Chains A and B, each alone.
Chain A
Amino acid sequence: MPRPRVMIIGGGLAGLSAAMKLADMEEVDVGVMSLTPVRRSHSVCAQGGINAVNELTRQLGDNEWKHFDDTVYGGDFLQHQPPVNEMCIWAPKIIDLMDRLGVTFNRTPEGFRDQRRFGGTLFKRTAFAGATPGQQLLYALDEQVRRWEAAGTVKKYEFWDFLGPIVDSGGRCRGCVAQDMVTMEIRAFPADAVIIASGGCGAIFGRSTNSNACNGSAVSRAYQAGASYGNGEFIQVHPTAIPGADKLRLMSESARGEGGRVWVPRKPQDPRRPEEIPEGERYYFLEDRYPKYGNLVPRDIATREIFKVCVQEGLSVEKDRPCVYLDLSHLPRELLDRKLAGILEIYEKFQGVDPRDTAMKIFPAVHYTMGGLWADYEATAAGRLVIGSPRNQQTNIPGLYAIGECEYQYHGANRLGANSLVACIFAGLTVAPGVMSSLQSIPGGTADAQPSTLFDEACRQRTAQYKELLDRPAGGPNPYTLHQELGRCMTESATVVRHNADLAAAYAKVCDLEQQARRASLSDAGGWSNQNVVFVRALEDMFPLARLVVKGALARDECRGAHFKPEFDLGDIKATDPAAARQQAEQWCDRWEENNRRWLKSTVARPGPDGEPQLSYEDVNTSLIPPRPRLYGVTGGQMIEEAWRTRQRKQELRKDQLI
């Protein structure tokens, strides 16, 4: 009997950890498919590090539960809690494993792993490897998978474009279709499970901090085949990126973690060089407005403040381009070289200025896709994950799984810095035993037992679409220009600050661009290594995602995490008189509770007729940590917190009396 086969789409941290773990279970053949050689996947870009409770933080009062609490609080309680709880429990073990695999984690003088502090927490939980921890973690996994490849257990399909899952008439995924990006051959890959691990979809915003391959095409094709998409409207905008013509390059949060300070000159567009501006004439607006967290406020807060200081308060460093200073020049060069050399080199290489001497100019950029393919989980009564359950990470299409940035489970409304790497590896490692147990008895038999017509028909359809692209008449719209227009439209309407009027206009514009893209002309009709075909097809598949992002944002009339609509902001406590302030705080809590009743729900999008996303709302499992107001930066936050605590105590008392 042939061995069962699992196809993994994407070879970043999530895909490779799944491949490695599956291969180690020795009973399955694994295929890894990717748009790029897997060693070049976008995970290499992660600059911050990987979060886990460690011996050091433990002795300062930290534990797995606090990591879990920071994660759900940072995510504004929009995550199902059991998987997040499980992730935080496994995080320290994951770092130990990566350490054994040879990741070059930075060390303390005594030889322990060094950690730094990241946004949204008060503990130094983040292990790192120079300035390229993503690269170092990816390489360790790539090396393990190469070991299995050399042993014949794993086969790689690099430079292959995933065209869609093959779903049979019973609704089960039986494999996938893909195209070789060099020979342009289209082929079916029968498989007993398909795991999508294709990363985020930054490309729908034009330029972002994402890599070229993060075009969302695999996710979009799964969605169009019937997979649900969760929390599409939650897109993280990173507060600090270096503007560029081809991409917006990330300047890691670790720059602030190591002591970097964000400021603007008090005098708008002060013409002096930053180092010539005296301390008293600098406005350290994050430290000023958020004394507790200072420069390390969560990403959505930092982003909005930088945006506000530039756009609303007119304090941008440059007149014609919004940006603020991120300053490291006060820190010792030795420390910068040892801990941040890699990211500082990036700035130096792309801007020609040494950030050790002079402050960097930065501005927010689209960075992370919190939403993604809807994925399931199975929890115990105690709120742990049932490891080995075939439901874990499975989409609503049986046999089709999703892990990593391309799914929606771990980050809620806003991801904490350095939580993505741990979420990717955790999901990769936990999907493996679940997939293995699903292979014990596959309804309707293995993929190889399916009629060949199922696979032939899938190939025929995709080949016809490919031919249609090649045969398009000349003179249609330019696909590259359309992509820029889509990016502009999405960036202007659906990033830092969102207004319903803008979103409604953007939705119409996206639909219009989609129609144009269907007529876009190719400038290459050749049958060898045709990147033009791959691009145009990916562009067309950006629209279904763009539509569900905008529609989800339009529908969600509240502020939550990265989704900020000023019209629905719960406001501040303005009164100075204690009694009046207390009353306002009570009213604030009423509004907050009312808002949660309506909106503490995940958006679930499914493609309807004509590609119109159909939205429904799913209750969030908050069984472990009751939601509480997320009060970073709200004026009178302390007063609200007191009012809310009293309310909680009263509720508990009432509950006790009832019992």
Chain B
Amino acid sequence: MGATTYETSTPEQDKSHAGQPAIPARTFEVRVLRQERPGRPGYWERHRVTYERDMNVISVLQRIAEQATTIEGRKVAPVVWECNCLEEVCGACTMVINGRVRQACTALVDRLLQEKPQEIELRPMHKFPVVRDLCVDRSRMFETLKRVKAWVPVDSYLDMGSGPRQSPETQELAYLFSKCMTCGCCLEACPQFLKIELQAKPGETAEQVHARQQDQYNRSFLGAFAIGQVELFNANPIGKTNAAERLDALVAEGGIQVCGNAQNCVKVCPKEIPLTTAIGRQGRAATFHVLRKWFDR
């Protein structure tokens, strides 16, 4: 295979490439809000990165890791961040880029520099505890999926034939919600979803802190993504058999009533999931659920 085959082109080549915006600056600055570990103060650090064609924030962070040197020439540890698929289906690389919560992989440098020439600003999400730098702890989201029983309760994994037939319309609606990649954008933008970060009390073991944290998670607002999952599983022909349990979770402490209807969630969702539709529908379902329980008493 030829040497140029998979190579990234040099900035000179970019100018000759029709259809690509010509970026006059060969380098640009990246400001990163860093934090060494939980409980430590954050601090800003500046890096200079050379422009390449087809760059996104992931490749910017890769260059920063490679250089490990600030704009002032100081040797520093590479910036820590989370990523995996790099094509916006895994949900790992969520961060706040130029003030907007989004995935780093689809944040294209050309566009960012058009918005704000010469500089890109990277911060971690502020609704989750920082693990280090841009990497945050989103385990609360996975715990929330347990809280709303986000699964289809099948009897077994033996061969029992296919699932029920479904209309294409039903499938298309379900697919909208099942694309949720647990990225956390909707929570970052939600005024009602608040950060939970506990400090260990004197003499408390890690397990005790963890248990206290779980308890707090379970009593706090579950967020739009989880309501979207309730919508998904309560509409599933087998999933609806335990719809009442999911509605119980929605009407418990930290449930759907906490939603203040700011509608930020639907605006920031990278997968354009109709979260406010789910909130509306599940809000009504929750009301009926409470009334039904009240009358059934």
Given contacts A39-B91, A526-B36, A532-B77, 19 further A-B contacts (CB under 8 A): A37-B142, A41-B90, A44-B90, A96-B159, A97-B160, A104-B175, A111-B166, A132-B89, A135-B89, A144-B151, A146-B146, A147-B153, A212-B86, A244-B59, A321-B4, A321-B9, A365-B6, A488-B6, A492-B5
Give the chain A neighbours of B159 by CB distance below 8 A.
93, 96-97
**Quick check: is B287 within 8 A (CB to CB) of the other chain?**
no
Given the complex, which residues of B lie within 8 Å of A495, measured CB to CB? 1
CB-nearest residue of chain A to B178: A104
Nearest-neighbour CB distance to chain A for B83, whole angstroms, equals 5
Question: 8 nearest interchain CB pairs?
Answer: A111-B165, A524-B77, A523-B68, A143-B151, A99-B163, A480-B66, A40-B90, A245-B59
- Contact in complex: B4, A247 (CB < 8 Å): no
Do residues A245 and B6 form an inter-chain contact, with CB atoms below 8 A?
no
Q: Are B142 and A135 in contact (CB under 8 A)?
A: no
- Partner of A102 from the list B132, B160, B239 (CB cut-off 8 Å) is B239
* Residues 116-139 of chain B, each 1 if its beta carbon lies under 8 Å from chain A, else 0: 000000000000000110010011
Cross-chain contact A478 with B178 (CB below 8 angstroms): no
Given B13, B52, B108, B151, which contacts A320 in the complex, CB threshold below 8 Å? B13
CB within 8 Å of B: which A22-54 residues: 24, 36-37, 39-42, 44-45
A206 and B175 contact, CB distance less than 8 A: no
Let me know if B52 and A149 touch, CB within 8 A. Answer: no
Q: Would you give the shortest CB distance from A200 to chain B, in whole angstroms? A: 13
Q: Is A350 a contact of B108 with CB atoms below 8 Å?
A: yes
Answer whether residue B88 sits at the interface, using C-beta atoms and an 8 A cutoff: yes
Once A100-B152, A101-B152, A346-B87 are accepted as A-B contacts, the answer to whether A526 and B175 lie under 8 Å apart by CB is no
A109–B89 CA distance with the chains assembled, in angstroms: 28
Q: How far is the CA of A135 from the CA of B182 in the complex (A)?
A: 12
Closest B residue to A243 using CB positions: B54
- A280 at the binding interface (Cβ < 8 Å): no
A617 contacts which chain B residues (CB < 8 A)? none
A568 within 8 A of B: no
Give residues of chain B (72-94) contacting chain A, Cβ–Cβ below 8 Å: 75-78, 80, 82-92
Known A245-B53, A524-B78: A311·B2 in contact at CB below 8 Å? yes
- The reply to whether A129 and B85 contact each other, CB–CB distance below 8 Å, is no
Residues 387 to 427 of chain A near chain B (Cβ within 8 Å): none
B156 touches A247 (CB 8 A): no
Contact pick for B154, options A101, A492, A530, CB 8 Å = A101
Residues 335-371 of A at the B interface (beta carbon under 8 Å): 338, 342, 346, 349-350, 352-353, 363, 365
In the bound complex, residues from chain A placing their C-beta under 8 Å from that of B163 are 96, 99-100, 102
Q: Which one of A100, A249, A478, A535 has the highest number of Cβ atoms from chain B below 10 Å of its Cβ?
A: A100
A492 to B87, alpha carbons, bound, how many Å? 25
Residue of A96, A129, A135, A320 with most chain B CB atoms under a 10 A cut-off? A320
B199 CB–A CB distance under 8 Å: no
**A-B contact list, 27 entries, CB within 8 Å:** A24-B156, A36-B82, A40-B181, A42-B84, A96-B162, A97-B157, A100-B238, A102-B152, A102-B178, A105-B171, A129-B175, A132-B89, A144-B151, A144-B152, A146-B150, A150-B149, A212-B86, A246-B56, A246-B86, A318-B17, A322-B5, A346-B87, A353-B19, A481-B66, A495-B1, A523-B78, A532-B77
Contacts of A491 in B (CB 8 A): 1, 5-6
Q: Roughly how many angstroms separate A110 CA and B171 CA in the complex, as a whole number?
A: 12
Q: Are A104 and B171 in contact (CB under 8 A)?
A: yes
Considering only residues 215-250 of chain A, those with a C-beta below 8 Å from chain B are 243-250
Contact B87 A109 (CB under 8 A): no
Q: Does B62 contact A (CB under 8 A)?
A: yes
Chain B residue contacts of A552, Cβ below 8 A: none
- Tell me the minimal C-beta distance from B146 to chain A in angstroms: 5
Which of B78, B168, B178 makes the CB contact (< 8 A) with A139? B178
A-contact bits for B1-42, CB 8 A (1 contact / 0 none) = 111111111000100111100000000000000001100000
Do B146 and A108 touch across chains, with their CB atoms under 8 A apart? no
Q: Does B161 contact A (CB under 8 A)?
A: yes
- Closest B residue to A429 using CB positions: B157
Question: Which B residues lie within 8 Å of A93 (CB)?
Answer: 159
Query: Which residues of A lie under 8 Å from residue B132 when comparing CB positions?
Result: 528-529
Interface flags for B59-70 (1: CB within 8 Å of A; 0: not) read 100100110100
A248 CA / B7 CA spacing, docked (Å): 11
Q: Which residues of B contact A535 (CB under 8 A)?
A: 65
Q: Which residues of B contact A (CB under 8 A)?
A: 1-9, 13, 16-19, 36-37, 52-56, 58-59, 62, 65-66, 68, 75-78, 80, 82-92, 105-106, 108, 110-111, 131-132, 135, 138-139, 142, 145-146, 149-154, 156-157, 159-163, 165-168, 170-172, 174-175, 178-179, 181-182, 233, 236, 238-239
Q: Which residues of B contact A497 (CB under 8 A)?
A: 1
Q: In the complex, which of the residues A136, A140, A182, A243 contacts B131, with contact meaning CB atoms closer than 8 Å?
A: A182
Residues A108 and B65 in contact, CB atoms below 8 Å apart: no
Q: Residues of B contacting A143 with CB < 8 Å?
A: 145, 150-152
Q: Which residues of B contact A271 (CB under 8 A)?
A: 18
Q: A107-B166, A130-B175, A149-B146 are in contact. Are A320 and B16 (CB under 8 A)?
A: yes
CB distance from B265 to the nearest CB of A (A): 19
- Interface residue A531 (Cβ < 8 Å from any Cβ of B): yes
Q: What's the minimum C-beta distance from A574 to chain B, rounded to whole angstroms?
A: 27
Task: Give the CA-CA distance A594 to B163 in the complex, in Å.
Answer: 50
CB distance from B241 to the nearest CB of A (A): 12
CB pair A109 B168 closer than 8 Å:
yes
Q: Which residues of B contact A136 (CB under 8 A)?
A: 175, 178
Looking at B86, B236, B239, the one whose CB has the most chain A CB atoms below 10 A away is: B86
Measured CB to CB, the closest approach of chain A to B63, in angstroms, equals: 9
In angstroms, Cα B210 to Cα A37, docked, is 18
Residue from the list B1, B18, B75, B151 in contact with A147, Cβ < 8 A: B151
Question: Within 8 Å of chain B (Cβ to Cβ): is A67?
Answer: no
B77 touches A245 (CB 8 A): no
- Give complex CA distance A93, B7 in Å: 44
Once the chains bind, are B17 and A320 in contact (CB under 8 Å)? yes
Is A113 in the interface zone, CB < 8 Å from B? yes
Kindly identify which residue among B84, B170, B175, B233 contacts A36, using a CB–CB cutoff of 8 Å: B84
Chain A neighbourhood of B84, CB < 8 A: 36, 40-42, 211-213
In the complex, which residue of chain A has the Cβ closest to the Cβ of B232? A102
Alpha-carbon separation in the docked complex, A42 to B68 (Å): 28
Say how far B93's CB is from chain A's closest CB, in angstroms.
Answer: 9
Within the complex, the shortest CB–CB distance from A214 to chain B, in Å, comes to 9
By a CB distance below 8 angstroms, the chain B residues around A130 are 175, 179
Q: How far is A211 from B162 in the complex, measured between Cα atoms in Å? A: 32
Q: Mark A89-121, 1 if CB is under 8 A from B, else 0.
A: 000010111011110111111111100000000
The answer to the question of A469 belonging to the interface, with a C-beta cut-off of 8 Å to chain B, is: no
- Minimal Cβ-Cβ distance residue in A for B12: A320
A6 within 8 A of B: no
A492 to B6, CA, bound (A): 9
Chain B residue nearest to A349 (CB atoms) is: B106
Q: List, in ascending order, chain A residues with CB within 8 A of B52's CB.
A: 245
Chain A residues with Cβ below 8 Å from B16 are 320
Cα A529 to Cα B76 with chains together (Å)? 15
Q: In the complex the two chains form, what is the Cα distance from A39 to B91 in whole Å?
A: 9
Give the residue of B7, B89, B167, B238 whose beta carbon is less than 8 angstroms from that of A107: B167
The CA-CA distance from A97 to B152 in the complex, in Å, is 12
B264 nearest CB across to chain A (Å): 21
Contacts of A530 in B (CB 8 A): 77
With A106-B171, A531-B80 as contacts: A112 and B165 at CB distance below 8 Å: yes
A208's nearest neighbour on chain B, judged by CB, is: B6
Q: Which residues of chain B come closer than 8 Å to A526, judged between CB atoms?
A: 36, 77
B59 proximity list for chain A (CB < 8 A): 244-246
Contact of B85 among A110, A206, A211, A488 (CB under 8 A): A211
User: Nearest-CB distance from B174 to chain A (Å)?
Assistant: 5
A206–B236 alpha-carbon span in the complex (Å): 41
